[in-house]
Amino acid sequence: MDKEKLIQELQAKAVRLRRETLLIMKEMGSGWLGGSFSSADFIAALFFYRMKHDPRNACWSERDRLIISKGHSCEVIYAALAESGYIPREELKTYSHLGSRLQTHVDCRTPGIDCSGGSLGLGLSFAVGSAMGAYILPEKKNLSSSPRKQKARFRVYCVLGDGECNEGQVWEAAANAFHYKLDNLTAIVDSNKFQSTGAVRMKMDMISLAEKFKAFGWETREMDGNNMKEVVDTLDWVLTVEGKPQAVVAHTIKGKGFPSLENTNCHFVKITDDLLKKGLEAFVG
Amino acid sequence: MVKTTYLREKRDTNENMYSAHNRALIELARKNKKIVSCYADFPPGEVAEVFQNEFPDRIIDVGIAEGHLITSAAGLADAGLIPFTHCHALFALGRGYNQIRQNVAYDNRNVKIVLCNSGVIWGGIGPSHLAIEDLAALRAIPNLVILSPSDAVSTEKATFAAADYVGPVILRLPSVGATYPTLYKNDLEFKIGKAICLRDGKDITLMATGILVKDALEVSEALEKKGIRARVLDIHTIKPLDEKAILAAAKETGAIVTVEDANILGGLGGAIAELTSERYPVPIRRVGVKDQFGESGTSEEIKECYGLTPAMIKKAVHHARKAKRGRR
């Protein structure tokens, strides 16, 4: 497909995801708006461009995995799952209701979710295990050989928060991914600069996450995570890397798309009638 | 006295339970291509050479990172494999608790977590490495099956049972360096959730788990000479508990002594006290670690110091029977 057309289509998808995300949040009366909106663009690109998956066969063993390690940004994921056809659109109305498959953090009970989230710092480890599994050959050396004899059965994408990178286990996983040369693993850090109770830099200054991943041996790129062209280019680049895991630090805007909320700590916000009205006017698609 | 036919006539063979587990794991791995053995800088023993030669991709060491060990094992299970993780019991629990709860138990992943060097009797390298609370903590997590075999034969069988079972399993083993008397013959039938009645009796029941089953057995034998018939149950599955066998023992023998190398708070003793106090209350005495941290020392010294000896089991039997008579 023509790249420009692709980008336009993905941009339209991202608008649609933001609209649906808002409608999902309305069900609870509040939601993880900031992180859902900051990540909406690359989530759209992963679901509708990059990932090899089959919404009609959610448990397909060879599917690419998507691990939402920042498990709170779940509403945009539910919107993407419905848009792809994993779950019926009507089901979005059950979000956070008792007995629903759509819990208030991503949850394995939802088709298309590979790892339950909510406890931060775990997802990258899960992704490492999954990526290793994609290289393991039962009776031959493959995972443990260099260069490898056989390609990985699937790729694994892991979405982390920048605040989440405070957690120590992220770096256990990062070291291990390099050690096993997991080039079928891509970590995308949604660097929206805010965490639960304040600015990331003020909570625990991680200086440069890109430099950190580089120091851990990862092929690393930074991108404007709200610019679809950069997102697509970067997601094309990850496929070209051999022998190393890839880290993408996506510089994003928390609450992207809502001028009144952008770059504020809109981590978990009440969905007022006014906010809903403004949102539905802004995100038409 | 009726004894199970599974018991050996003599207890003159000592075997290493970790080796028994490793033998089973090797046999399993040869039959089932999905078996993967994972470590956090923990000695793989016999597994190392065989796996390196026959299936080098299926042995993984993640370094000193127990939290990552547990979560990455859940990822391996997601990729269709059956991982067995190995590290110190205390670090699987202490560094991996949230990971066991979230990634293994909650997501119901087919991960087998082997708790090595559990309990205080090991002595080993001191209190930082001695797990007393593993049973209490893990018992409170839904979805987990918890196995605690008592000798090499039941360890081998427990390893096979863990692999057969689809879902998360905890396998609790004692010191990986020590040997323990083998109690069972090789034809032992080991079923998850089904206690083994080693000796029948009507006067009291000794409910033991892990390496102290042997001591419970010895006490029962010694008591028989005094005319006291003590039933002995090997509670090799801490969860799900064999409620039927435990409640039947409560009804038929009227008194219970529990025996374990773990904190009696929430451990086997806690589990059986909870069950019987609601369903069929009888006098109960708990032999185990009495809410203390472990210590360095030889196993014999530690058993003495922590009251984990046959003499202390006998004493508990005496008190439980006295309480039983007092109720009449």
Does a structural domain hold residue B5?
A: no
Cα dist. B118→A29, B30, B137, B146, B152 in Å? 48, 28, 13, 13, 15
Mark whether B161 and B301 lie in a shared domain: no
DSSP state of B109: -
Distance from CA of A33 to the nearest CA of B (A): 24
Taking the C-alpha atoms of residue B246 and residue A280, their distance in angstroms, rounded to an integer, is: 62
Selected for mutation to probe chain A from B37, B41, B58, B71 (highest A CB count within 10 Å) is B71
Distance from CA of A125 to the nearest CA of B (A): 5
Please say if the pLDDT value at position A83 is more than 80.
yes
**Is B244:B214 a contact under the CB 8 Å cutoff?**
no
Whether B57 sits inside 8 A of A173 (CB atoms) is no
Please say if the pLDDT value at position A200 is more than 60.
yes
Q: What is the ipTM of this complex?
A: 0.96
Pairs of CB atoms within 8 A across A/B: 115
pLDDT of residue A226: 98
Residues of chain B with C-beta less than 8 angstroms from the C-beta of A216 = none
Mark whether B20 and B157 lie in a shared domain: yes
Q: Which residue, B181, B205, B232, sits at the end of a domain?
A: B181
Question: Among A184-188, B121-125, B171-175, B211-215, which is the least confidently predicted range?
Answer: B121-125
Does a structural domain hold residue B187?
A: no
CATH number of domain containing B236:
3.40.50.920
Q: How confident is the model at residue A9 (pLDDT cuts 50, 70, 90)?
A: very high
pLDDT of residue A80: 98
Residue-number span of the structural domain to which B101 is assigned: 14-181
Please say if the pLDDT value at position B1 is more than 60.
no
| Dihedral of alpha carbons B75, B76, B79, B84, sign | negative
Residues of chain B with C-beta less than 8 angstroms from the C-beta of A173 = 68, 71-72
Taking the C-alpha atoms of residue A210 and residue A218, their distance in angstroms, rounded to an integer, is: 9
Mark whether B120 and B74 lie in a shared domain: yes
Q: How confident is the model at residue A120 (pLDDT cuts 50, 70, 90)?
A: very high
Q: Which residue, B181, B214, B231, sits at the end of a domain?
A: B181
Task: Name the residue of chain B whose CA is nearest to A62's CA.
Answer: B79
pLDDT of residue B315: 98
> Which fold is adopted by the domain A3-282?
Rossmann fold (3.40.50)
What's the total number of domains in chain B? 2
The count of C-alpha atoms lying within 13 angstroms of the C-alpha of A90, restricted to the half-sphere facing its C-beta, is 0
pLDDT of residue B328: 64
The more confident residue out of B5 and B47 is: B47
pLDDT of residue A263: 85
Residues of chain B with C-beta less than 8 angstroms from the C-beta of A61 = 80
Percent of all residues in chain B with a pLDDT value above 70, rounded to a whole number? 99
CATH number of domain containing B106:
3.40.50.970
- For range B273-300, the mean pLDDT: 97
Taking the C-alpha atoms of residue A107 and residue A116, their distance in angstroms, rounded to an integer, is: 4
pLDDT of residue A138: 85
Whether B72 sits inside 8 A of A132 (CB atoms) is yes
- Would you tell me how many other CB atoms lie within 10 Å of the CB of residue B197? 20
Mark whether B149 and B230 lie in a shared domain: no
**Is A219:A187 a contact under the CB 8 Å cutoff?**
no
Q: How confident is the model at residue B125 (pLDDT cuts 50, 70, 90)?
A: confident
Please give the model's pTM, rounded to 2 decimal places. Answer: 0.96
Extents of the domains making up chain A: 3-282
| Residues of chain B that touch chain A, judged by Cβ-Cβ distance less than 8 Å | 33-34, 36, 54-58, 60, 62-63, 65, 67-68, 71-81, 83, 98-99, 102-103, 106-108
Give which of A173, A103, A166 is closest to A132, Cα–Cα: A173
